[in-house]
Structure 1
Amino acid sequence: MSLKNAHILVIDDDEDVLIALRLLLKSKVARVVTARNPNQIDHLMSGQSFDVVILDMNFNGLVHTGNEGLYWLGKVREKDPGASVILITAYGDIDLAIRSLKKGASDFLVKPWQNEKLLEAVREAAGKKGRKAKPPRAGGNTQIVGQSAPMEDVFTKVGKVAPTDANILILGENGTGKDLVARAIHENSMRRKGPFVKVDVGALTDSLFESELFGYRKGAFTDAREDRPGRFEAAQGGTLFLDEIGNISLRQQARLLTVLQNRQVTPLGSNEPIPVDIRLVCATNKGLEELADEATFRRDLIYRINTVDILIPPLRERGGDRRLLARHFADAYAEKYGKGPFRFEPEFLRKLDAHTFPGNVRELQYALERAVIMAEGDELRAEDLVFSAMEKEGGARDVPKTTNLEALEKQTILSVIEKNNGNISKSARELGLTRTALYRRLEKYDL
């Protein structure tokens, strides 16, 4: 994460320190929140997400042992294990620094600090934080893990569009997490207290499309034994998420366009329209160019649903996020199955990096769940990481072709290592390289 996008929380009982840090940081980061009382940590971190917490180690105590700071460090880590914490104190010593770093602090600084050194510490701490798109309040359950540049663009867009009532079109391949982004938009919106209603419209027939979305009255058709509100009514005051919008028929598109233009629905079996107040979010695995073909999709509907579009990058374009996500899923499934915590052996990481993940984050999630289940001991090894043959068969079509020599070399190395299940010696022989030469190329391409 870049420093300019960071959200910082500063906690110190010295008002002069808070003013100094606010003045130093406010022009360099996205937001700075300050507090004098560490008892506010629970409230502040329940209501907002912070990338870096700058925390004093002594609060109004006569004995400056730093134990208060270590206690509150633990509280911060409980509220958000991914937050980076920088501890500051006027009573620094080596033992205290070591203790704080062992407890999970990102850095340890002594007052008075040097501005450049503090800024560098904040910059490094922000870079360690896998920013999570989650609502700035208690109760949200959306968690999108990532710190790559493409995902930073997604987080920035979500932050800008979520507070508005604009209709959003989310684009991306299957398995990239479009539904999580839709929920993050809702949970960061002014409608967050309203319902979030998801409909997979691509799976609905023409008859089901109208009854599901617009509802029906008793007697409207054979099995209509009672009045039933549609999804538009169910989403009143909240967000309606229409997934796989690119797969609906032209007839369905015409009905949907009419509702969006008039902002009202007429249930089947009724002549009385019902006003609807919803925020519309749609998603599709088709590209805008494909949607723009009027033989299959109405251009006027595209403009209605696409005030702003957000493109979710495939996992193969997200750099180091695959390791970050692997750690996230490994920890989650270790807790679920009562195992771990797990370490990753080097060959496991090389195999992980070599795979192109045509199934995207969903494929990685299932692979890590299987690895955790099958693992013996507390280390995940290369043989524990098994990828779906189904995804592998269709994956080659998803890899963009290139004529760039470096890109071709990188792609060839990835393919060979994946083919050999992460075995570096075997891959080096197949590529006509020594192990040392292959390692140099892996380092060159950050693999």
Structure 2
Amino acid sequence: MQKAKILIIDDNKSVLSALEILLQFEYESVEAISNPNQISSYPKLEEFDIVLLDMNFSAGVNTGNEGLFWLKEIKKKAPSTSVIMMTAYGAIDLAVTAVKQGASDFILKPWKNEKLLLTIKSAIELRKSKKEVQQLKSSEKNLKQVINQDKNLIVGNSKALHDVLNLVRKVAKTDVNVLITGENGTGKELIARELHRASTRQNEVFIGVDMGSISETLFESELFGHTKGSFTDAKEDRAGKFEAANSGTLFLDEMGNLSLQTQAKLLSAIQNRSIVRVGSNKNIPVDIRLVCATNCNLPEMVANGIFREDLLYRINTIHIEVPSLRERENDVIVLAEFFLDKFSNKYGKPQLRMNQSAQEKLLNYRWPGNVRELQHTMERAVILSDGNVLKPEDFLLTPSNNNMPDNSLATLDEMEKQMVKNALQKHDGNYSAAAEQLGVSRQTLYNKLKKWGMS
């Protein structure tokens, strides 16, 4: 006996009896009514899996209009319930019309029991499939909302930041590839998320990938996916980041850390907008908005032969340079107040504030780690604070960082190298601790040291 609820609606009591006798041994619950006017008030109609509905109820009337009317009423009350129409041989055209208007199928009178049972079984399977699809769509929608929820805000009112956001708004509605550059900690991912949020893909997923943390051996598997058995640990088919981002935005961070070999593989996927999983030869088309980011000087890397010029052209249709915190006028204090409010509430110190001297110290510091460094500084100060007022001495700023070369006299690469040296010195060569301070993965730190010959 199958677990399903069936409702039979027919004004011919002999038909009702015959169907009840046949179906009561096949299905868990079978109910019958002879008057279709009961449909409007029938309790829990939406709980029925199948409704068997006659097409004619009034004596001498064979137009089928009554059946079509009650079909619409049932679908209003129970849109997911499958309705099977019952009709005589001469009304097949009407039955076809009913299917077009939402019926799952139709049964001819007199029926053959085997054919009727098979039709009902198929309709039940169809209903189950529809429910599963609806549940998957609902789960997918909820998952996308969780993934895309605004966990971070872009805070600041400087002209430099407003200029960037104006450019973002202009570009967002298009699908052109965007390259975001800027120093470490300036908020390149936040700008990428803002591009996604303002785009026509805002209700789809935003997938971020730290390219510097992916080893060369796993590059293709991570980005393009793999098939079961394609290598030792491939125990099942798996979609890569390109497929996961289909219909949404794919954000590739740390683009300057790619080897020439992986650059070639990435270029092919970007050009063709299709990927091939490891272990397969099937092309899978992908529809993505591509946003890349780096703190490296890619044109200089092209000149030095360590970055492909054709890849740079592909990812650089629009270039957005995120300003350093030094270029954002008084956004330091705006951001500091924002982080102070956030962390004082988080750590149960809602009365905490900064005095004027503390603000001046923050303004006079060069912030080589930019917004990320400011965030960590404010969190540390809140955690270690004893009173209700933060003073200059509560902010533990690395003195060596304040002696960084002037931005006009040093390249981003040189400044980044100095930051890494300072972090390693501070943590006595502990790579994990230095990477955490810098806000990058341990693998990314290794890659940078290898690039500079410092490993």
- C-alpha displacement of 1:398: 5.7
Q: Distance in 1 between matches of 2:409 and 2:292?
A: 29
Aligned AA (1:312): V
Q: Distance in 1 between matches of 2:407 and 2:310?
A: 32
Q: Distance in 2 between matches of 1:394 and 1:253?
A: 36
- Structure 1 residues 289, 397: closer, same or farther in 2, change over 3 A? farther
Asked if 1 retains the 8 angstrom alpha-carbon contact of 2:298 and 2:307, the reply is: no
Higher CA-based Rg: 2
| Secondary structure of 1:242 counterpart | strand
The answer as to 2:393 corresponding to 1:396 is no
- C-alpha displacement of 1:176: 0.7
CA deviations on 1:110-154 (whole Å, 9 max, x unpaired) are xxxxxxxxxxxxxxxxxxxxxxxxx9xx95444111111111111
Q: Distance in 2 between matches of 1:400 and 1:376?
A: 39
TM-score, length of structure 1 as denominator length: 0.57
Aligned AA (1:401): L
Unaligned runs of 5+ in 2: 1-144, 411-455
- Corresponding position of 1:53: none
**Alignment map for 1:21-60 (pairs within 5 Å):** none
- Corresponding position of 2:216: 206
How many pairs does the alignment contain? 264
| Secondary structure of 1:349 counterpart | helix
- Corresponding position of 1:271: 281
Asked if 2 retains the 8 angstrom alpha-carbon contact of 1:170 and 1:283, the reply is: yes
CA deviations on 1:82-135 (whole Å, 9 max, x unpaired) are xxxxxxxxxxxxxxxxxxxxxxxxxxxxxxxxxxxxxxxxxxxxxxxxxxxxx9
- Corresponding position of 1:357: 367
Aligned AA (2:224): F
| Secondary structure of 1:270 counterpart | coil
RMSD over aligned Cα atoms: 1.9
- Corresponding position of 1:323: 333
Asked if 2 retains the 8 angstrom alpha-carbon contact of 1:142 and 1:184, the reply is: no
| Secondary structure of 2:176 counterpart | coil
Q: Distance in 2 between matches of 1:401 and 1:178?
A: 23
- Corresponding position of 1:86: none
Match of 1:196 among 198, 206, 220: 206
Q: Distance in 2 between matches of 1:371 and 1:315?
A: 19
Q: Distance in 2 between matches of 1:174 and 1:300?
A: 25
- Corresponding position of 1:180: 190
Q: Distance in 2 between matches of 1:282 and 1:395?
A: 31
Asked if 1 retains the 8 angstrom alpha-carbon contact of 2:366 and 2:402, the reply is: no
- Corresponding position of 1:227: 237
Q: Distance in 2 between matches of 1:236 and 1:258?
A: 17
| Secondary structure of 1:221 counterpart | coil
**Alignment map for 1:246-285 (pairs within 5 Å):** 246-285=256-295
Aligned AA (1:369): E
Asked if 2 retains the 8 angstrom alpha-carbon contact of 1:242 and 1:281, the reply is: yes
Identify which range, 284-293 or 258-267, moves more after superposition. Answer: 284-293
**Alignment map for 1:307-346 (pairs within 5 Å):** 307-346=317-356
Q: Distance in 1 between matches of 2:172 and 2:403?
A: 33
| Secondary structure of 2:320 counterpart | strand
Asked if 1 retains the 8 angstrom alpha-carbon contact of 2:365 and 2:402, the reply is: no
Asked if 1 retains the 8 angstrom alpha-carbon contact of 2:252 and 2:291, the reply is: yes
Asked if 2 retains the 8 angstrom alpha-carbon contact of 1:167 and 1:279, the reply is: yes
**Alignment map for 1:156-167 (pairs within 5 Å):** 156-167=166-177
The answer as to 2:400 corresponding to 1:386 is no
- C-alpha displacement of 1:294: 5.7
CA deviations on 1:173-198 (whole Å, 9 max, x unpaired) are 11111111111111111111111111
| Secondary structure of 2:404 counterpart | helix
Q: Distance in 2 between matches of 1:336 and 1:283?
A: 31
- C-alpha displacement of 1:292: 3.3
The answer as to 2:382 corresponding to 1:372 is yes
Unaligned runs of 5+ in 1: 1-134, 403-447
- Structure 1 residues 394, 230: closer, same or farther in 2, change over 3 A? farther
